[in-house]
Structure 1
Amino acid sequence: MTAPARTRTRGPRIAVVFALLAITAVAALVTWQTSPRDGNYLDPRSTQPTGAHALLTLLRDQGVDVVVADTVGAAVAAADEDSLLLVTRTQYLPGEDLLAELDEAPGDRLIVEPSRMMAGVFAPGVDVADTMAKINPGCAMREADSAGVANLTSGYTYEQADDDITGFTSCYGGALVRYRDGGREVTVVGSANFMTNGQLLKDGNAALAMNLAGSHARVIWYAPQQLEGESSGDATIFDLIPERVNWIVWQLVLVVALLALWRGRRLGPLVAEQLPVVVRASETVEGRGRLYQSRRANDRAADALRTAALQRLLPRLGLTTRADPPQIVTALAARTGMPAAAVSHLLFGPAPATEDDLVHLASALDNIERQVAYQ
């Protein structure tokens, strides 16, 4: 009678183990399929806050044929007379020969956040200006006027370089310009932040991004993540391990954990212990923010935001806390390429007059920290 009793006892345990294995396997598969996709700034495949997968998905849902080109050759091959070539992350654009090949591709242009040098290559009709961008369009361009308020205040502004060009239109204080170059329409945007996953739902960012990038039935998205022909130097030893090895290791860990759970022994009943009250940091920050809001202390809130941003920026710039404002402005302008006047206004300017201005200040400070971190 002893052997059958043991068999009956062991049977339910084995069934429980297999059920746990099946549930864990399904959960792992769902987690893997829905996990965030890593990527760099404006990577159309990235679901990170700085990526642009959300805009890519919205465009395709609206019937726009979006071609993600990883090389100049792929971008040129996909372009035609009726397409729109979206070019961004110009700091990773290749040498002169490939640049010339890309510039000769047919179709209209949407050049996003080009530097002074790259603006001269792809948009010779404009120059980088030393003016402040605005959040309101203030122009007659249909795409900008229908979008309304948008966050383009953290990048470049542009001005007309040649009086002979036709159809020049400037919006958002010069952060968005458009002109005709022969039979081609060239649109230049000084900031790409409004197109990212993290900022797309704010104000009219999504509308502006869709209006600009979705104006053609076919869009070629060229956002190089590194120079062509060069491999990334950020790979770690874990990146060199084949993917199948990782899965085998995790399966072994799961089996060991289940066996430990099955064969483990309780040492006794759990002892209830009264813990002190813990206040999360997020609740403290929210409470302080609501206190500022109730007292309309925009000046103190702005001062707190700017002080915290400087504390994080100074080590990245190689400066100490004794650095004076001109040194900080010069270093940030050199690092980000933003006009010195814009940097000075952002970090040391007057207090915001309204809560909307305070929100835009916080967003602009976050943008400049991101630019310093990625460079």
Structure 2
Amino acid sequence: MTAPAPVRERQTAPGTAPDTAPDAARAVSPTVRQTARRAVPWIVLAVIAVLIALFGILVTGGRTGAGIPLDPANAAPAGTKAVAQVLRAQGVDVRPVTTLDAARAAAADDATVLIYDPERNLPASGYRSLAGDGRTLVVVEPGFAVLKTIAPEVSAAGSPRGPVPSGCDVPAAERAERIDPRSTPNTKDVVLPGTFRVTGDGVACFTDAGGRASLVRTTFDDSTLYLLGSAAVLTNDGVDRLGNAALALNVLGAHRTLVWYLPSVGDRAVTGPPDIAALTPGWVTPVMLLLVVVFVAAAIWRGRRFGPLVIENLPVVVRAGETREGRARLYQRSSARLRAADALRVGAVGRLATIAGLPSAATVQEVADAVASLIRTDRGRVRDVLLDRIPTTDRDLIALSDDLAELERAASDAVTPAAPPTSGPTGRMDV
């Protein structure tokens, strides 16, 4: 075997111009239109990001920095830090807690327990465990289920519509005289004021013209129970209106200890692991649908045809013989003699079928029979050359190659008519 021939570059003769074919590749600067087209995907992504941000603002209502509603440490409009500080200044021990166990421990003696549970984390049994022992319960904005548990004679009646006078003989309400239970624009997204209708023994205070009360005093398991329909009476943004501050300080400051209880997720009853729907925020599904639509649109947009193929001249010219020699060296290096023999036989069978006038779909056996009849030799010998012989050494492979070449030569000679003999020169010309 010989060493591989080096790749030769195409050269031009001295004094001749280089090849300048019209289809030669040329480097050109991108136009403004091409630059703009390349920037389109980034512009689309920026627009999608802006749309998602706007969607998030719409879903969350733009609430930023509001803090925890009615938290005594929250100085935001929805917090109640102002009321808590004034109560502490008056000698009331304000104890913020977030779990039922901590609330029971903090309210061991007679105390006032404020409960604000907009997420409905506290079960009905929690209210019963906090009642009794001379405690006063103040439940802010209770829901339907809570009212059914702690005050069945009281029902929800809708939102308040304006400032209302006390209209009852409850001392805390009489001192306040007049309150404004409506929420302010700064807190209406976190507090939902409400009113009550009383059908039993409860005392309704701050009742409007429609008979709806903003404060109800009743009893629950030997405890005095206040139902406050509007958290805006306690918030930093609403406590300074009319008699809101007086009502808040007199109701919450009745005892020397005030347990400020905001139930958390830890107070929920354990009923098994939550499902994915319970853990997924409500905005996830619309955002996922939006992303799917964007993905499909981008796939359709970017999946179009890329345009016609561009013909580019190769930098070098490689001869077909070098490719053949390189493949032969690969076969030799991997000792793939049978694969090399098959390659030789495939080419020989195709050429022999053409010589014998057989179609390209003819089998090897049919080609062997036709060639044997054509050159008038033994069919077994032709079949051995075209199909049966297995070379085990390089010498066997070379011998098989020679036999294939000899077989093609004999078949070609058999179908080529003999040329007529020609006379040699005689030294004279016939006239």
TM-score range, shorter chain: 0.3 to 0.5
TM superposition score normalised by structure 1: 0.46
TM superposition score normalised by structure 2: 0.40
Larger relative helix fraction: 1
